[in-house]
Each structure stands twice: as structure tokens, then as C-alpha cells.
């Protein structure tokens, strides 16, 4: 596991989950395993391998349990994580002895209903229960807030709403907090201001950013996060994964761009860009060759 010190940043690769989830093609379990194994060789310290969610709602993530079981997880310096949404996903995570899970709730009522079919309050109650259960089971858990910097549907989201949700999740035992710009609306000054508020509730090393490059501000937002003392970022190689809300928009911030930016600013990532490019070409070849 990479150490937290000021000169290192930790990148969690999310192309195998957020990336593929936002592509229309559905890749096989074997293709997803090949992608994750290629990413594992690139020096990433964290890889999100999929999501234990309803395959009817998110067919791209169907059989993530088989992906988990089929992976070569012998590299002890890599943390493989899974996103879950509900108790059913939690059961699967427990059965498979997943050590770190992630759960996100939305700070926008409209987005919460669209994404999880639950009102915010119910989604938060549900997530807090799962966070507590994870702690009791000895798992670590990133609990995060979607639309933390605003929402495509609802516009600005007040920091009081985000902070109240973060407090609840911290009380339940979240070991890390994720702030997600789910619909890619954040501007750098909004990122800084939200971090300064949430940073009053939790140490900065517990907080990570999950940024999308929907409007081309993704890297500026990464830089704003770095400026504010954040050292953990989610990103997707090649920016794989469009945004389901805005046709033609790009997906997560591209991992290789985050690496280049961070290293230019003097941080270390320990990621091999050549091997990362190989992983990207594998993903693109699978996406290009699959029919949908």
C-alpha cells in the first residue's frame, strides 16, 4: 500500500467500473479480467474492479462477482475495490471477502431518484447502515457523495447538505470520504471551497476526489484538489466512459493526464505510462470489437 506523504498521490483507476458502465458495449467477464490485469501491471495502487449491483439496471457490471473471483489478486500492493449500492451487494462483498468497498449517495434529490430510485434521506440511511456493517465485518469503506459540487439537473448544491451527509457517514464509521463530481459540473473554485468545508469534518488524507471531465474542467479541478491538499483521485485511463447525461461528453478525468499533471507539479505516482497505454489499447480494442 502506498504511503501517505505529501509527495505521493494515490490514483484509483475506475475505467473497469465507471468507464465501462458508461459505454453502451457490454464486455465479457474474461475481457474485464484481462483489462484489470493489464491495469495491475501499470503500477496503480488501487483499482475499482466493478460493482455488485442489479444487472438488469447496469448490465455492463453484470457478474462482477465472477470478475472478482477470476482476478489475479496476488499483488499485495494493489487495493482492489468494488462499488456497492445496497444490502444485496454487501452480502456478495462479504461472501467474497472483499476487503474494501465503496458506496455513494447523491446530494441531489433528482439525481438520487434517477440513480438509486431512492430519496436522498432513504439512500443516506441505507448507506449509513451498510457503512456500519462494513466496519463490524472488518472491511474498510469509502463512503462518498455524488453531485457534491453541483448537479446537472439541480444546479448548485449547498455545502451544508454535503457536510451533513459526510458527518453521518463518518459517524457510521466510513474510513474514507469520496467527493464526486458525478455530472461533471464542478469549477475549480467550487472544488476548493467544498474541500475547505468538508476538511473541517475529516482530515484531508481521508478525502478523495472523483472527477469527470464532462466540460473540460477535469484537470483544473484535479489541480484545485492538489492545491487544497487532496492526495487521492479517481480517474479512468483514456477518459474511458462518456457521460450518460450529455451526448459526446468525455468521461472520468484521464489517468494519464492526472499522472502527467501531478508529476509536473512534483508529486510521485509510481505509474508506468507505457503500461497504462497498453491497458488502454486493450480496453479500446474490446470496445471497438464488441457489438451492441
Cite the active site residues.
243
**Closest residue to Zn ion in the complex (CB):** 18
Q: Contact region for Zn ion (CB under 5 A) — 11-19, 45-53, 63-71, 133-141?
A: 11-19
Question: Comparing C-alpha atoms, which of 29, 35, 28 is closest to residue 281?
Answer: 35
What is the distance between the alpha carbons of residues 35 and 205, in angstroms, rounded to a whole number?
29
Is 32 or 111 the residue whose CB approaches Zn ion more closely?
Answer: 111
Is 18 or 109 the residue whose CB approaches Zn ion more closely?
Answer: 18
Query: Out of 13, 18, 256, 280, which residue is the one contacting Zn ion (CB under 5 A)?
Result: 18
Is 190 a binding residue for Zn ion by CB under 5 A? The answer is no
Number of residues that bind Zn ion (CB under 5 A): 1
CB of 90 vs Zn ion, minimal distance in Å: 20
Is 13 a binding residue for Zn ion by CB under 5 A? The answer is no
Q: Contact region for Zn ion (CB under 5 A) — 13-21, 68-76, 108-116, 183-191?
A: 13-21
CB of 267 vs Zn ion, minimal distance in Å: 22
Q: Contact region for Zn ion (CB under 5 A) — 18-26, 111-119, 151-159, 264-272?
A: 18-26
Q: Which of the residues 234 through 273 are near Zn ion (CB under 5 A)?
A: none
What is the distance between the alpha carbons of residues 217 and 195, in angstroms, rounded to a whole number?
17
CB of 179 vs Zn ion, minimal distance in Å: 11
Q: Which three cell numbers stand for residue 111?
A: 439525481
Cα angle 239, 210, 261 (rounded to 5 degrees) comes to 60
Q: Contact region for Zn ion (CB under 5 A) — 10-18, 23-31, 152-160, 279-287?
A: 10-18
What is the distance between the alpha carbons of residues 227 and 209, in angstroms, rounded to a whole number?
13
CB of 252 vs Zn ion, minimal distance in Å: 6
* Residue that is written with C-alpha cell 501491471 in the block: 41
CB contact at 8 A, 149 and 156: no
What is the distance between the alpha carbons of residues 241 and 212, in angstroms, rounded to a whole number?
10
Residues 6+ apart with CB under 8 A from 76: none
Is 132 or 215 the residue whose CB approaches Zn ion more closely?
Answer: 215
Is 213 a binding residue for Zn ion by CB under 5 A? The answer is no
CB of 8 vs Zn ion, minimal distance in Å: 23
Is 18 or 280 the residue whose CB approaches Zn ion more closely?
Answer: 18
Is 102 a binding residue for Zn ion by CB under 5 A? The answer is no
Partners of residue 234 on adjacent β-strands: 12, 210
What does each C-alpha distance from 13 to 43, 94, 211, 253 come to in angstroms?
Answer: 11, 22, 12, 10
Measured between its terminal Cα atoms, the distance across the chain in Å is 38
CB of 193 vs Zn ion, minimal distance in Å: 21
Is 280 a binding residue for Zn ion by CB under 5 A? The answer is no
* Residue that is written with C-alpha cell 489478486 in the block: 73
Q: Which three cell numbers stand for residue 239?
A: 477518459
Angle between helices 273-289 and 255-264 (to 10 degrees): 160
Binding stretches for Zn ion (CB under 5 A): 18
Amino acid at each position: 500500500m502506498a504511503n501517505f506523504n505529501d509527495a505521493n498521490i494515490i490514483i484509483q483507476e475506475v475505467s473497469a467500473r465507471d468507464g465501462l458502465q458508461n459505454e453502451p458495449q457490454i464486455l465479457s467477464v474474461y475481457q474485464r479480467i484481462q483489462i484489470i490485469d493489464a491495469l495491475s501491471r501499470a503500477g496503480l495502487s488501487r483499482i475499482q474492479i466493478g460493482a455488485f449491483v442489479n444487472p438488469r439496471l447496469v448490465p455492463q457490471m453484470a457478474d462482477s462477482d465472477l470478475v472478482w473471483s477470476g482476478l489475479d489478486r496476488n499483488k499485495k500492493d494493489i487495493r482492489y475495490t468494488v462499488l456497492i449500492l445496497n444490502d444485496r451487494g454487501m452480502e456478495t462483498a462479504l461472501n467474497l471477502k472483499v476487503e474494501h468497498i465503496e458506496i455513494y449517495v447523491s446530494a441531489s434529490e433528482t439525481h438520487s431518484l434517477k440513480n438509486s430510485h431512492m430519496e436522498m434521506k432513504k439512500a443516506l440511511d441505507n448507506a449509513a447502515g451498510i457503512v456500519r456493517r462494513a466496519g463490524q465485518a472488518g472491511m474498510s469503506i469509502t463512503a462518498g457523495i455524488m453531485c457534491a459540487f453541483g448537479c446537472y439537473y439541480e444546479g448548485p448544491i449547498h455545502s451544508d447538505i454535503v457536510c451533513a451527509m459526510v458527518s453521518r457517514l463518518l459517524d457510521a464509521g466510513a474510513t474514507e470520504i469520496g467527493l464526486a463530481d458525478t455530472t461533471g459540473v464542478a469549477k475549480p473554485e467550487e472544488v476548493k471551497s467544498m474541500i475547505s468545508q468538508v476538511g473541517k469534518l475529516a482530515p484531508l488524507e481521508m478525502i478523495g476526489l472523483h472527477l469527470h471531465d464532462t466540460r473540460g474542467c477535469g484537470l483544473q479541478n484535479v489541480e484545485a484538489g492538489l492545491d487544497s491538499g487532496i492526495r487521492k483521485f479517481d480517474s479512468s485511463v483514456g477518459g474511458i466512459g462518456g457521460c450518460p447525461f450529455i451526448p459526446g461528453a468525455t468521461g472520468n478525468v484521464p489517468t494519464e493526464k492526472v499522472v502527467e499533471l501531478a508529476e509536473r507539479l512534483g508529486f510521485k505516482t509510481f505509474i508506468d505510462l507505457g503500461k497504462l497505454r497498453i491497458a488502454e489499447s486493450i480496453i479500446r480494442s474490446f470496445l471497438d470489437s464488441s457489438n451492441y
